[in-house]
Amino acid sequence: MQHEFSVQGMSCQHCVKAIERAVRALDVQARVEVDLAQQRVRVASDQPRAALAQAIRAEGYTVVE
């Protein structure tokens, strides 16, 4: 499934790596695309949307539903 999140607080490549690592901790095969300019994260994963959002939040970012 394709999930798209609006994520506030991302500003650099460290943010990108942190989000990728958090999502892949749930699903090692997830495809993660982070768009810093648009403050968007796209995830292709079979994991529930809520679990993916929580993983991003746990890294300190704000997920706007």
DSSP secondary structure letters along 3-25? EEEEEES--SHHHHHHHHHHHHH
Element (H, E) at 51: helix 49-58
Q: Is the pLDDT of residue 65 over 90?
A: no
Tell me the torsion sign for CA atoms 26, 32, 30, 53. positive
Q: pLDDT tens digits, residue range 22-58?
A: 999 999 999 999 999 999 999 999 999 999 999 999 9
| pTM score | 0.94
Asked if the model's pLDDT at residue 6 lies above 90, the reply is yes
Tokens 């999502």 label which residue? 23
